[in-house]
A and B are shown apart, each in its own frame.
Chain A
């Protein structure tokens, strides 16, 4: 889409461009290469080294050199029902968390987009959950959720610990509730990351030129129409970039869950990245298997991101 846009412009401008053609090229290099060089230098070795390790039987703590096992690691992973279960848990986690974060974030942004007294302060306050380290957030919500001395149950009106939900243990009045633990972690993820999408939506909303609405009012467009035809499409590109980054991070989210449940109870909150951490660092230090699993996660993330990027590009050409 940028191709078409760059070539438009008045003939005068194009003439100007030609005269400066060389310096434009120099500027492109000057602007892009520092970024690319850093990214290449920091990523190529880790990427290829872990790709190599994924085809080997290797443990980071053993003194033995990696031994080549071909695609065995991949076969083991893809034929393991347990791991497919973790993938599905991760999928549900991501869809629910990112979905709610997007809707809530956008709604919040709509609510505070008009400048009013203290809007800067309110914005800062809303952003606070995001500013905390996930490790700290995990710890604190563990304290909040504590069935005896936590505030969560207390505020919900459960004063008797024996009859109250024990969120992270996945039990309500001592009866196990399936997935309760997973959704309690998702709730924290939503609490923490809704501000991220709120701020992006807010920046997008702020950038919508007033005259679009003025024109709509002259045309007597309903506010519903204005929302669907002006607000949403204008915010969409930025909102989708936010969703893209949240999805990538949610698919590999790990420190929050690790801090709160370490995957438990049983394997209710065992996200794929949590399992990856276990394989890579706990017990056997199964570096080879972990690398293979990481590559499978990478492939999944690449496919999901591609779908989202397609949506972003579509939004750009329409907009």
Chain B
């Protein structure tokens, strides 16, 4: 299952020629070319300056980045947008996940525990917000965002992804909260807890597995979303997925740069999932009495 991931890691450390070698190479000398190409903007070294570079290289005056770029006949003109895009992704995906899980938890609790008039219809409405293909929603959303001044803003993207994930978060968390026996809360209420106290002290700890799973999914959806990001951001709030895809354009496919970019893009989510892993595999604790 992980073979494609290994291939991606290997590709990130290959040079352009090695990526397309036949048959594919498994053993090779790692190169940082992909990462250098990912993190910098470059231009072809003008012929009149080649000597200057060669001299600097011979004297060891080139930084590692400059050396790698020069080996492929290019000079570095500045840093690329990659780190900024990645930070945008962190802010937008992180905050939207937080909001959708918090709102989703409360809504799911209410749907699970109380009798709400038209409950099934409301739940279906919540689900239906995810059904229209993104391609079609983007045109009205684009118009709406331009009118509201939300186009290409962080807040606009955070709210959009929150809304996008809410349906999932409500449904999934309701599934988990339904599984927690009511007897606990009822006992706590009899003991004089307020409703809010039971929510935070009884239900929240028991729902941690569900909350962790929901967080992981919401984060992944928001982190990877491509279509909305492409349409509704241009520069300030642009996230990483559209920018990785645009790397295709520059002079043939730079596989190693794309692989390096994807790898860098993967690491933050892997860290979050790894931090939450105990909750994911823990299951419901303290020997709950269940129906």
Which residues of chain B are within 8 angstroms of A205 by Cβ–Cβ distance?
Answer: 283
Q: Is A181 among interface residues, defined by CB-CB distance under 8 A?
A: no
Let me know if A255 is at the binding interface, CB within 8 A: yes
Task: Judge if B58 is at the interface, Cβ distance under 8 Å.
Answer: no
Pair A199/B216 contact, Cβ less than 8 Å: yes
- Complex alpha-carbon distance, A127 and B274, angstroms: 10
Query: Which residues of A lie under 8 Å from residue B146 when comparing CB positions?
Result: none
For the complex, give the distance between the alpha carbons of A235 and B183 in Å.
21
| Chain A residues whose CB sits within 8 angstroms of the CB of B217 once the complex forms | 196, 199
B270 at interface, CB cutoff 8 A: yes
Task: Check if B56 is an interface residue, CB within 8 A of chain A.
Answer: no
Whether A131 lies near B266 (C-beta < 8 A) is: yes
Residues of A within 8 A of B3 (CB): 151, 155
Tell me how far the C-beta of B13 lies from the nearest C-beta in chain A, rounded to whole angstroms: 15
Q: How far is the CA of A35 from the CA of B101 in the complex (A)?
A: 11
Distance A135 CA – B245 CA, assembled complex (angstroms): 7
Which residues on the A side are within 8 Å of B132 (C-beta)?
46-47, 50, 294, 297-298
> Does A73 interact with chain B (Cβ within 8 Å)?
no
Summarize A's interface: helix, strand, loop or mixed.
Answer: helix
Contacting pair A241 B172 (CB below 8 A): yes
State A241–B270 Cα separation when bound (angstroms): 24
Cβ contacts under 8 Å, A294 to chain B: 132-133, 135-136
Q: Are A149 and B24 in contact (CB under 8 A)?
A: yes
Residue of A nearest to B25 (CB): A149
A283 to B274, CA, bound (A): 44
* Contact assessment for A276 and B124 in the assembled complex, using a CB-CB cutoff below 8 Å: no
Across-interface contacts of B269 in A (CB, < 8 A): 131
Which residue, B122, B139, B171, B278, has most C-beta atoms of chain A within 10 A?
B139
Any B CB within 8 A of the CB of A111? no
Contact A161-B22, Cβ < 8 Å, known A27-B195, A294-B132: yes
| Residue of chain B at shortest CB distance from A272 | B133
A143 at the interface (CB under 8 A from B): yes
Report the minimum CB–CB distance from B223 to chain A (whole Å). 7
How far in angstroms is the closest Cβ of chain A from B216? Answer: 7
Q: Do A301 and B21 have beta carbons less than 8 Å apart?
A: no
Q: Is the CB of B195 within 8 A of A23?
A: yes
Contact B274 A280 (CB under 8 A): no
* Interface range, B side: 35 or more
Q: Chain B binding site: helix, strand, loop or mixed by DSSP? A: helix
Q: Which of B207-266 touch A at CB < 8 Å?
A: 209-210, 213, 216-217, 220, 223-224, 226-227, 240-241, 244-245, 248, 255, 258-259, 262, 265-266
| CB-contact partner of A28 in B116, B130, B182, B248, under 8 A | B116
B223 near A302 with CB under 8 A, answer: no
Q: Which 7 A-B pairs have the closest CB atoms?
A: A206-B283, A120-B277, A294-B136, A46-B140, A31-B110, A31-B106, A133-B224
- Sampled A-B contacts (22; CB under 8 Å): A6-B114, A16-B189, A20-B194, A23-B194, A28-B114, A47-B140, A120-B274, A120-B281, A131-B266, A132-B265, A136-B258, A139-B248, A140-B11, A140-B259, A149-B23, A151-B7, A207-B284, A238-B175, A238-B176, A248-B127, A273-B135, A298-B132
Residues of A within 8 A of B (CB): 2-3, 5-7, 9-10, 12-13, 16-17, 20, 23-24, 27-28, 30-32, 34-36, 38-39, 42-43, 45-47, 49-50, 53, 60, 112, 115, 119-121, 123-136, 139-141, 143-144, 148-151, 154-155, 159, 161, 191, 196, 199-200, 202-203, 205-207, 209-210, 237-238, 241, 244-245, 248, 252, 254-255, 259, 273, 276-277, 280-281, 287, 290-291, 294, 297-298, 301-302, 305, 309, 316
Contacts A140-B259, A151-B3, A280-B135 aside, 16 further interface pairs with beta carbons under 8 A come to: A13-B189, A17-B189, A49-B139, A50-B136, A128-B266, A136-B244, A139-B245, A151-B24, A199-B213, A203-B283, A254-B134, A254-B227, A276-B133, A277-B135, A290-B136, A305-B131
